[in-house]
Amino acid sequence: MDFSMENNIRWLYRPKPDRHLVKKIAKEINVSEALGYLLVQRGITSFKEAKLFFRPALEDLHDPFLMQDMAAAVERLQDAIKMGEKVLVYGDYDVDGTTSVAMMYLFLKKHYQKVAYYVPDRYKEGYGISKKGIDYAKSKGYTLMIALDCGIKSVDLVAYAKRQGIDFIICDHHRPGSTLPQAVAVLDPKREDCPYPYKELSGCGVGFKLIQAYCQVEDIAMEEALHYLDLVTVSIGCDIVPITGENRVLAYYGLKKLNTDPTVGLKALLHIAGFKEDKELTIMNVVFGLGPRINAAGRIDHAHSAVKLLVCEDVKEAERYAQIVHEYNSSRKDLDRDITAQALEMIHLQQKQAAKTTVLYKEDWHKGVIGIVASRCIETYHRPTIILTKSGKQAAGSARSVEGFDVYDAIEACADLLEQFGGHMHAAGLTLKIENIPLFQQKFEEVVAQSIRAEQLLPQLDIDVKIRLKDATHKFYRIISQLAPFGPANTQPLFVSENVYCAKPPKLVGKDNPIHLKLAIRQEDSATYDAIGFSLGHFYEPLQAGRRFHICYHLEENHFLGKTTLQLRIKDIRLA
């Protein structure tokens, strides 16, 4: 695993796969060795594995009853319906939570009328199961609550609910604490005692497994469960879970559903986000086109608007709610820009360039965007970052991490200074007393400094393989496209080609601010390829001289005036 450093971006080559396995799989499925290389990197070493990967099948989904407590969950749900109990579907206010709530509510409503949903207020109740939510359920006579994308650490609150005569079924995918809540069923593949073979489901994915199990027991056609795979796919993409194994199957078929027959709410959202019906959507379209709009409702006001959109069955009503969340997203963008500018200025003034972490607090920052701001700060200062703001009488924060560093573990090491925390390796949330912030800043810095590696404090490009430009053919592109859907643990292949040169003088492009680089690139034995490098305009002068250089890039198709050509999406350049 070698890497070179220049411009503070590492070019990190993924581990080289076994050469014999590469040749074997390339021969078995009749592809080039470069493609065989990509497959073995992804753990595909036989014809059977390649078939499963290239042709995901719904039959590959695991038996939901392999999940610990699934039988108990289904039995409790059956009993509630049989006895005419009121059921409340409860979920978090982010994309994973709202898609989970919408999916579960729509499914149950089709079979049972005494069902409703509840999403907590980010500002009044905070993340996860809330006392206010339980009190609401009690006041309205609900005796069963199904918690989605939250609840795994709500030990005291679930106990409180039980004293009120309310049972819980928990569908979560976050790491459990040392004690599990005393719910009727705790569905979470990350439970240490859970034998479920796939551990990386989204919260919505865990909810889907409950629906799948219920359909099996009640002899309901599986098509009913599959109808909601577009919602599951939105959760998979936006919650940044690995697109491997079962998630790959769910995302593959969910994208088909999203492209051909999306639910009414998602169709309205796609339209207002500017997607054309003839454009095939990818996971990246979901992440950057749909996710921010769904999230914006809970960030700016209340996630009810997002859930109302996602459960809409009337086109006009869906269009109205799509407009609402679209406008929330515009407000979110303004807040994001302003607070990010303030945060970057604070880091600059502190001049702690040697620091391994960033922990910032300002009491009037908008709680709904601090997670985004943390990510923005990492783009400039590449280190684990926590952005805090005032929430009631405490400070609430969102943490984001850099590649390969477990920020949850680092926060857990500071638990004595915290009131509450939860999350996973790359992102977490926390609350603490305002007077504890200086001590927390100091301890978090010490914990991270002891364990983070120097190279993790630099941005990196994870390169799959070095190829000759002449090998980047339309056939090659068509086959690598079948590796999609792309996402964590199955990223879009990133290539390097060395000693290329400009066949024509480079151009600077950009509507108002020409900072992007447009090139026509050749290698000695290749045709000329069009290339675009966003925000790489600083290479304009060096490349004018006609010198050789190395490129790191994705391969994509460009459709223009009815003509399709291959284009290189350049991520970075090294001068030879």
What's residue 388's pLDDT? 98
Spatial distance between the Cα atoms of 146 and 137, rounded to a whole number of angstroms? 11
Spatial distance between the Cα atoms of 365 and 279, rounded to a whole number of angstroms? 38
Co-location of 201 and 64 in the same domain: yes
In this structure, what CATH number is given to the domain that contains residue 436? Answer: 3.10.310.30
In this structure, what CATH number is given to the domain that contains residue 503? Answer: 2.40.50.460
Q: Is residue 275 part of a domain?
A: yes
CB 111 within 8 A of CB 43: no
Co-location of 424 and 536 in the same domain: no
In sequence order, the β-bridge partners of residue 560 are: 563
* pLDDT < 70 positions in the chain: 1-7, 351-353
Co-location of 476 and 524 in the same domain: yes
CB 26 within 8 A of CB 35: yes
Co-location of 273 and 378 in the same domain: no
In this structure, what CATH number is given to the domain that contains residue 102? Answer: 3.90.1640.30
Co-location of 353 and 370 in the same domain: yes
CA neighbor of 182 nearest in space, from 196, 162, 165: 162
Both tokens assigned to 532: 């675009």
Please identify, among 416, 432, 457, the residue that sits at the C-terminal boundary of a domain.
Answer: 457
C-alpha distances out from residue 414 to 155, 375, 388, 443, 447, Å = 20, 21, 15, 7, 8
C-alpha distances out from residue 184 to 92, 187, 452, Å = 20, 10, 40
Q: Is residue 49 part of a domain?
A: no
Both tokens assigned to 122: 């980010």
Q: Is 489 exposed, middle or buried (0-12, 13-18, 19+ CB in 10 A)?
A: middle
Co-location of 165 and 311 in the same domain: yes
In sequence order, the β-bridge partners of residue 147 are: 90, 170
Query: pLDDT of 506-555, one tens digit each?
Result: 999 988 889 999 999 999 888 999 999 999 999 999 998 778 999 999 99
Spatial distance between the Cα atoms of 1 and 462, rounded to a whole number of angstroms? 11
Q: Is residue 23 part of a domain?
A: no
Q: Is residue 38 part of a domain?
A: no
Q: Which residues span the domain enclosing 436? A: 342-457
Please identify, among 432, 457, 482, the residue that sits at the C-terminal boundary of a domain.
Answer: 457
Co-location of 426 and 484 in the same domain: no
What's residue 2's pLDDT? 37
CB 555 within 8 A of CB 472: yes
Q: Is residue 20 part of a domain?
A: no
CB 456 within 8 A of CB 404: yes
User: Order of strands, edge to edge, in the sheet holding 86-91?
Assistant: 115-118, 86-91, 142-148, 167-171, 185-187
Q: Is residue 36 part of a domain?
A: no
Instruction: Give how many domains the chain has, as a whole number.
Output: 3
Spatial distance between the Cα atoms of 207 and 512, rounded to a whole number of angstroms? 46
CB 32 within 8 A of CB 471: yes
What's residue 127's pLDDT? 81
What's residue 476's pLDDT? 92
Spatial distance between the Cα atoms of 122 and 307, rounded to a whole number of angstroms? 14
pTM: 0.88
CA neighbor of 457 nearest in space, from 348, 353, 344, 340: 353
Co-location of 433 and 477 in the same domain: no
Q: Is residue 399 part of a domain?
A: yes
What's residue 425's pLDDT? 86
Query: pLDDT of 102-138, one tens digit each?
Result: 999 999 999 999 999 999 998 888 888 999 999 999 9
CB 535 within 8 A of CB 569: no
Spatial distance between the Cα atoms of 154 and 134, rounded to a whole number of angstroms? 12
Q: Is residue 40 part of a domain?
A: no
Both tokens assigned to 402: 């850099």
C-alpha distances out from residue 77 to 111, 145, 247, Å = 12, 10, 25
CB 45 within 8 A of CB 24: yes
Co-location of 305 and 163 in the same domain: yes
Taking each helix axis from N to C terminus, what angle separates 264-272 and 229-238, rounded to the nearest 10 degrees? Answer: 50
DSSP per position, 540-551: HHHHHTT--EEE
Both tokens assigned to 61: 């989904």
Spatial distance between the Cα atoms of 95 and 545, rounded to a whole number of angstroms? 48
Spatial distance between the Cα atoms of 156 and 185, rounded to a whole number of angstroms? 16
Q: Among positive and negative, which fits the CA dihedral 415, 416, 417, 419? A: positive
Co-location of 88 and 162 in the same domain: yes
3-state secondary structure of 59: helix
Co-location of 437 and 358 in the same domain: yes
CA neighbor of 192 nearest in space, from 152, 156, 165, 221: 152
